[in-house]
Structure 1
Amino acid sequence: MSLPVSPTPSVDSLLGPGGALQEALPAYEHRPEQLQMARAVERAFAEHSYLLAEAGTGTGKTLAYLVPALLSGRRVVVSTATKTLQDQVFFKDLPLLREKLGLRFEAAYLKGRGNYLCLHRYASFAQDPQFASRDESRYWSRLKTWAEQTQTGDRGELDLPESFSAWSRLSTTSETCLGTRCPLYESCFVTRMRKRAEAADLLVVNHHLFFADLALRSSGKRTEGVLPWYDAVIFDEAHALEDAASGHFGVGVSNYRLEELSRDAVASLKEDDSRHATLRALSARLRTGSDGLFAQAPRALGLSGHESSVALRAETMGKLSGALQGVRDALGALSSFSAGEREPELAAITRRADELGEQLSFLEKAESVDHVYWAEQRGKGLFLRASPIDVAKELRERMYGALDTVVYTSATLAADSRFDFFARRMGLYGEDGQPVTKVRTLSVPSPFDYPRQAALYLPTHLPDPSAPGFIEAAAEEIVQLCQVTGGRAFVLFTSLRNMVRAYELAAGRLPYQALLQGERPKAQLLESFRDTPSVLFAAHSFWEGVDVPGDALSLVIIDRLPFASPGDPLVAARINQIQQRGEEPFEQYQLPQAALALRQGFGRLIRTQSDKGIVAMLDRRIVTKSYGRVFLDSLPDARRMDDLTELSRWFNGPVRALRSVK
């Protein structure tokens, strides 16, 4: 007697009305938008095509792409922009599909090499542990105990401060890793991670790891990346891809890289080796040359302050020609000494010295029309960088030819209801304007009832953001708005200067806990924000990827429209490139980019169907300028107000029943 054959699961049988997920979770409510997206992803896998899928907040897009990916029978990479979403996918969504739906699969969670303990470097460090401060040395006993017991080598298992500088000597990067020549290669935590990944159906990574791996593979110099070969990629939080890709397809030389090479060179031979004295002298020469170069650079290049950047040109780099030549000569001498030696550590020193020498020459010439060159100072670090102005060409050459299935998804992909801006920035159209492959698009709305759940406050009585007195007037408005909601507010800024100034003006007048980005690690700030009614003054990293559902966050205040600074060298180069094509950069680049960024900021507010709150835009240009329509049309259909009394009456009035999700 033959047994009945179980039907092959599909996205409809798992996510559809009355499907397996609804049966397994009685509280689960079928979402038509989620099923619509899941079908589109399923079709992309079946057709081996590309998909741009914008899914409004609350759609449930992670399950909408995970289910068809797991049913595809192919090895799929899921790449996210934030650790928060990476953790959610791996530790929440995938166990749900395995335990509640009975799907059978193997998944692997991967981080960059720098997150893992390097056994080879640890053994060397442990012979003579040196720390930057007494405070750091206090962690050594705990770290040694952990190193002997850990099964993963993942730094995340340790409660180390973010600033623990010794970790750079205990971990490795693609540059410093010895690869298969390492004597501890088989027991290496990264090797073990990669073997787990090779056995997995689904790989969960972040954008930086994905593009670091892609850049390494496509460089032609080294073929062994962290990721095994894969068949398809799903980019969640895809709006962040351009910046992530740009950083990894360029080159960068810093005082930190040269100092690390000098230090590693000395450590590559034991002191009783007859070659050690010569190697130490060559390392000292490199360190001296590096110190001289980076001491001269700020004045020669026009850098000001500890947090600044400036474009590099051949004529400005010429002011440093002598110092640059001295560093290149020191790198050449170090490379020549190590060349041909049998020890893998010395072979790595040669490779690294050669690469740094080549990159310094590329930076000094500053002649590639496809790249933007700039110098950046951050605290004690000084970085000389070059990045492709447009990653579209890089993506076409490095990725699209090898992958026939790619899904891009985010709550914010379309600008002014069109996908053109994102598709062109991602290189999905060739230089002839034709699509490079079959590309489909999908936009599914959020199930949230924004007219009932959210108000958009648009005051016009404040000065223009560029006018004197704006930040003082904005600080006064912040205080009054926080009185409406009892604090519980994110105040998001487009510049650190405005953030600090507004905090100084408003914090002392707020009867709530006032938090400032940078005073504590991000995770600690969010924990404190959730525990106590607070007002958080923040910029940059808090505009996206931060999830505070419920009453803890009822107000999001945005100081000004988030146009990228035209003084930023990369932004300026992109604007110039668009102008040279005879196009209008404001409409083609600056406006759609800012509209997407504003939608991200708005998205911090409503995270569940029971949330209620206010988004306040203090930049009057959204109402007074003709281009403000693009911003307003791109935002959810919240109730618009310009009067504080009316706003307070709405927020503190009775909560009406929210419409049910069909």
Structure 2
Amino acid sequence: MARAVERALRERRYLVAEAGTGTGKTLAYLVPAALSGRRVIVSTATKTLQEQIWGKDIPLLRERCGLDFAAAYLKGRSNYYCLARGAEFARAPTFAAREEAALWPVIEAWSRATETGDRSELDLPDQLHTWKDLSATAETCTGRECERYEDCFVTRARALAGQSDVLLVNHHLFFADLAMRTSRAGVEILPDYDVVIFDEAHALEEVATEYFGLQVSSYRVDELGRDALRAVGDRPDLASMMRDATGELRRAGERFFQAVADGLRTGGGGAGPQRGFGARGAPRGRTPRRGQEEESVRAPLVEELLAPCERDQARLDAALEALRELLAEAEAPQLAQIARRAGELRVELAAVTAMKEPSRVYFAEVRGRGVFLRAAPIDVAEELQARLYRRTDTVVFTSATLAAQGRFDYFRRQVGLAPEFDVDEARYPGPFDFPRQAAIVSPAAVPEPNAPGFLEAAAGAIRALTAVTDGRAFVLCTSNRNMVALHSALRDLPYQVLLQGERPKARLLEAFRAEPSVLFATASFWEGVDVPGDALSLVVIDRLPFAPPGDPVVAARLRALEAEGRDGFSELSVPAAALALRQGFGRLVRTRDDRGLVAILDRRLVTKGYGRAFLATLPKSPLLRSVEEARAWWQRGGVAPAPHRA
């Protein structure tokens, strides 16, 4: 793999390389990147991999392999303490939650001592609401006009990034930069680069869809109002007028977004609200408990949904314009920025609700306490071709899960690598002996997922399978509803029973490793979770992770394929679900010594014709049809009949 990456960098080519767990793919691209003499961006999807590369792999190459290269690690600006906003907050600290006030002295002391301003240096709760007032975003940063610009932690981090040979970022930061540098001149986040290496490249379509679209939310309106009030804290001549303007903005925003949410929940979006398993594993539905993924209700933006909100939208538009006009002549950078944000928000709200771009899909979403109106590109392929491929002659895409049924057709279509593109392709299967180390169990006695009695039968199968492996199981569900129902039915198991959301993710994994356990979880445990060794011997997956066909983005992409005379189910729905299933399967075998069972409680894997596509995408392992066969395989130590593949 290193030779293939080296050739791509030397000859300025594109490479798609699937590298299974245990391949060493990170070193395979870091070594040629360090030796290339070109500036290389390495972009990853998960924090876990970023930390591994920065804390383990890069030091290994420098200290043990003698490679001399400059590396930097750049995060999104919201991860860094903002000196200007922090000083402003300190003048009159106010906290969204009482318990957060106790953390302020710790943060304040750290802010005076830190060299990086990176919040990861502190052990802060993930959902610390106060951090929004202490960090900057693209909307709130005044850039060179800020009096603390030279001292700014983001400025210093970017200076180091500009001197690096290898720069480590995440997909969100990369695409935020790509969207900005191709739409606004002079607002780049990243330094210029020669090469991009996308690790965990299976996540690209989802992230690109987010950043190449528009989003107007209740959060943006709320934050604009709060920032506007804070910006006039030392301007008594404006304080009274600003209180009036932001009060009206808050009331108008609340009425408009509440009207959208009410229409969404009652099916005003035409197709009705969509819940279930997202295209890449994100569950959608009810508001979760603390720590669980935020589920959402989504529906297309249509006239029936927007018409009842027309008067409230006009009021919100007027409130935004009034705020903009109030500060239109302001010379202070912070005030001028508030005016600009109000104007941009007004324009974007009008664009999203006008729904005039046929290349975009328009939809509304309620997620947690937030309401979002979004315009997303139906197909990011053309966007990537225009914004990235025409500007960058060397791109490497790698992941453990890129090939569906052994081919890259689906992935290449996702990311716009058209057949006429000269792209090298390679698969590196890794060191694991899957026929010996893992078996797939699809119990014939469990009915189809939508049939009456499925959850009861699934719970019975899980009870029997955990008895085979003495617990030590992940139960990965495609919805919070199934997760809660199965956990409730099985909380009396004779092992430690854990539920996603009851504790932070890291604490759950610590408890899971400490003693035989059964962990019930959803999307965030399908990928990026590493539990090698005997602690995990069974992965249970409740059903095939199809995206709901009525999801606005999925539905638009299916319609686009059908308009071309193609079969959207076989070309989009099946490969997307098969790769998501393979991500879940990948939790089991992490080393050459791991051994265990992957139970897929969805009989369609075997009974439907498309099940062959799922089996052909999974590693070659024996297919067992009952708990009894699974017990026999386990007791034999993994010696099994021929693999499932026909």
* TM-score bucket (shorter structure): over 0.9
CA contact (8 A) 1:339 1:347 kept: yes
Contact 1:413 1:596 in 2 (8 A): yes
Residue 411 (structure 2) aligned to one of 400, 422, 447: 422
1:267 aligns with 2:256: no
Does 2:499 correspond to 1:536?
A: no
Deviation for aligned residue 1:140: 1.0
1:468 matched residue in structure 2: 452
Shift of 1:248: 1.1
1:116 aligns with 2:77: no
Unaligned runs of 5+ in 1: 1-36, 657-662
Match of 2:587 among 598, 604, 614: 604
Counterpart CA distance in 2 for 1:277 and 1:347 is 18
Give the whole-Å Cα distance in 2 for the aligned partners of 1:521 and 1:245: 28
Counterpart residue number, 1:483: 467
Q: What letter matches 2:327 in structure 1?
A: S
- Pairing 1:564-583 to 2, within 5 Å after superposition: 564-583=547-566
How many Å separate the matches in 1 of 2:69 and 2:590?
30
- Provide the C-alpha distance between the structure 2 equivalents of 1:639 and 1:591, rounded to a whole number of angstroms: 22
1:279 maps to which residue?
242
Deviations 1:583-605 (A, max 9, x none): 11011100111111111111111
Give the letter for the 2:328 counterpart.
Answer: A
Provide, for residues 39-96 of structure 1, a one-character-per-residue CA deviation record: whole Å limited to 9, x for no partner: 1111111110100001122111111111111111111111111100111111111111
Q: Is the 8 Å Cα contact of residues 578 and 617 (structure 2) preserved in structure 1?
A: yes
Q: Structure 1 587/439 Cα, relative in aligned 2: closer, same or farther at 3 Å? A: same
| Uncovered stretches (5+) of structure 2, i.e. residues with no partner | 267-272, 274-285, 288-295, 640-646
After alignment, is 294-303 or 416-425 more displaced? 294-303
**1:377-396 pair list within 5 angstroms:** 377-396=366-385
Match of 2:214 in 1: 251
Q: Does residue 447 in structure 1 map to residue 431 in structure 2?
A: yes
Deviation at 1:361, TM superposition (A): 0.3
1:351 aligns with 2:315: no
The answer as to whether partners of 2:444 and 2:626 remain within 8 angstroms in 1 is no
Deviates more, 1:58-67 or 1:635-644: 635-644
**Distance apart, 1:519 and its partner CA:** 1.9
CA distance in 1, matches of 2:258, 2:616: 49
CA distance in 1, matches of 2:360, 2:219: 23
- Within the alignment, does 1:400 sit opposite 2:395 as a pair? no
CA shift, 1:133, in A, is 2.3
Report the secondary structure of 1:274's partner residue.
Answer: helix
Given that residues 264 and 298 in structure 2 are in contact (C-alpha distance below 8 angstroms), is that contact kept between their aligned partners in structure 1? no
For 2:460 and 2:159, the matched residues in 1 are separated by 57
Q: 2:132 aligns with which of 168, 176, 179?
A: 168
| Residue 182 of structure 1, CA deviation | 0.9
1:142-194 deviations in whole A, cap 9, x for unaligned? 11111111111111111111221111111111111111111111111110100
The change in CA–CA distance for 1:379 and 1:655 in structure 2 (over 3 A counts) is: closer
Name the structure 2 match of 1:80.
44
2:316 to 318, 327, 337: 327
Distance (Å, rounded) in 2 between the aligned partners of 1:562 and 1:217: 35
Identify if the C-alpha distance between structure 1 residues 188 and 470 changes in structure 2 by more than 3 Å, giving closer, same or farther: same
- Equivalent of residue 523 in structure 1, options 506, 525, 541: 506
Shift of 1:438: 2.4
Among candidates 131, 134, 144, match of residue 180 of structure 1: 144
What amino acid sits opposite 1:532 in the alignment? E
| Structure 1 counterpart of 2:24, from 56, 60, 85 | 60
What is the TM-score with the length of structure 2 in the denominator? 0.93
Secondary structure of the corresponding residue to residue 185 of structure 1: coil
State the Cα distance separating 1:272 from its structure 2 match.
4.4
Q: Which one-letter code corresponds to 2:154 in the other structure?
A: V
Q: 1:317 aligns with which of 306, 331, 355?
A: 306
Contact 1:338–1:350, Cα closer than 8 Å, also in 2: yes
Query: Could you state the TM-score of these two structures normalised by the residue count of structure 1?
Result: 0.91
Give how far 1:245 is off. 0.9
- Equivalent pair of 1:112/1:209 in contact (CA under 8 Å): yes
> Which residue is 1:234 aligned to?
197
Cα distance in 1 for residues equivalent to 2:488 and 2:357: 44
Mapped partners of 1:169, 1:223: distance in 2: 26
Aligned equivalents of 1:472 and 1:458: distance in 2? Answer: 16
Alpha-carbon distance in structure 1 between the residues aligned to 2:573 and 2:526: 18
Q: Counterpart of 2:236 in 1: which secondary structure?
A: coil
Q: How many aligned residue pairs are there?
A: 613
Counterpart of 1:584 in structure 2 is 567
Q: Deviations over 1:531-579 (max 9, x none)?
A: 2211111111111111111111111111111111113221111111111
Aligned twin of 2:257 = 294
